[in-house]
């Protein structure tokens, strides 16, 4: 069975990859013109997408890798690099992240077409990126029991609840935090880079078969 520190690292990694300060800023920008009932529908669909992708990654992701002939250490290295790349702009540019929205101008999207923002940019890349999937698969590869899978799934569901709450409260949170969003985003980036280095270390030592 995995120990508590591994569970905690998985939760913290998912949360930092989400980058709540940056996500709040984006959620607020995208959804501020929608009424509350529409925001709840958007939040529900994004949350559902997150759960679905993460459950697939945790339960059958390693079998997909095995079919492709890829090793767990190689995936951990990939996930570490992806997490490092995701964390660097958070640390260096803060809230001023270069987030590209499909269509470029969401002010021109009719309210009747709110569904278009669910997949891009809210699900991808805001709440799910390559690093998120890589971390989910590599962590699931370390499981030794059904209990481990159950705890990982419970963590995913907890993060999904956080995502839902963040979306429906984004406008209010952005107003309250104001300029603090930039500082919080930079702090999140620092934490994410530190986690990325740990993941890279574990992946490299696993690939080389050494214990450093």
Tell me what pLDDT residue 101 has: 40
> Cβ distance 73 to 206 under 8 Å?
yes
- What is the per-residue pLDDT for 130? 76
Q: Distance between CA 24 and CA 80 in Å, rounded?
A: 24
Nearest to 98 by CA among 90, 106, 110: 90
What was the pLDDT predicted at 151? 97
Assign 3-class secondary structure to the chain.
Answer: CCCHHHHHHHHHHHHHHHCHHHHHHHHHHHHCCCCHHHHHHHHHHHHHHHHHHHHHHHHHHHHHHHHHCCCHHHHHHHHHHHHHHHHHHHHHHCCCCCCCCCCCCHHHCCHHHCCHHHHHHHHHHHHCCHHHHHHHHHHHCCCCCHHHHHHHHHHHHHHHHHHHHHHHHHHHHHHHHCCHHHHHHHHHHHHHHHHHHHHHHHHHHHHHCCCC
Give the per-residue pLDDT at 209: 82
46 phi and psi angles, rounded to 5 deg: -65, -40
pLDDT score recorded for residue 147: 95
CB 25 within 8 A of CB 174: yes
**Whats the size of the chain, residue-wise?**
212
In which domain, by residue range, is 110 found? 4-208
Tens of each residue's pLDDT in the chain, 212 residues: 789 999 999 999 999 988 888 788 878 877 877 888 889 999 999 999 999 999 999 999 888 878 888 777 887 788 788 888 878 887 887 755 444 444 444 444 454 567 878 887 788 878 987 788 889 998 998 888 999 999 999 999 999 999 999 999 998 888 888 778 788 778 878 888 888 898 888 889 988 887 76
Q: Can you give the pLDDT at residue 105?
A: 46
Residue appearing with tokens 């959620």: 27
CATH number, domain at 97?
1.20.1250
Short-list 18, 3, 1, CA closest to 136: 18
Helices 20-31 and 146-177: crossing angle, nearest 10°? 60
Number of domain units in the chain? 1
pLDDT of residue 5: 93
The pLDDT score that the predictor gives to residue 100 is 42
Q: What is the CA radius of gyration of the chain?
A: 18
């Amino acid at each position: 069975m995995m120990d508590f520190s591994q569970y905690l690292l998985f939760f913290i990694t998912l949360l930092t990859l989400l980058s709540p300060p940056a996500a709040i800023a984006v959620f607020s920008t995208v959804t501020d013109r929608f009424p509350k009932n529409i925001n709840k529908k958007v939040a529900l669909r994004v949350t559902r997408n997150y759960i679905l992708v993460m459950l697939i990654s945790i339960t059958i992701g390693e079998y997909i890798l095995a079919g492709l002939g890829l090793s767990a250490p190689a995936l951990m290295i990939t996930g570490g690099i992806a997490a490092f790349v995701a964390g660097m702009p958070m640390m260096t540019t803060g809230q001023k992240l270069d987030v590209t929205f499909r269509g470029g101008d969401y002010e021109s999207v009719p309210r009747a077409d709110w569904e278009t923002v669910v997949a891009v940019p809210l699900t991808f890349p805001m709440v799910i990126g390559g690093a998120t999937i890589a971390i989910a698969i590599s962590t699931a590869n370390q499981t030794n029991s059904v209990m481990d899978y159950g705890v990982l799934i419970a963590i995913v569901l907890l993060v999904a609840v956080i995502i839902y709450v963040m979306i429906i409260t984004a406008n209010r949170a952005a107003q309250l935090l104001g300029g603090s969003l930039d500082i919080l985003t930079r702090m999140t980036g620092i934490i994410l880079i530190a986690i990325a280095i740990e993941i890279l270390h574990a992946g490299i030592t696993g690939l080389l078969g050494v214990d450093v």
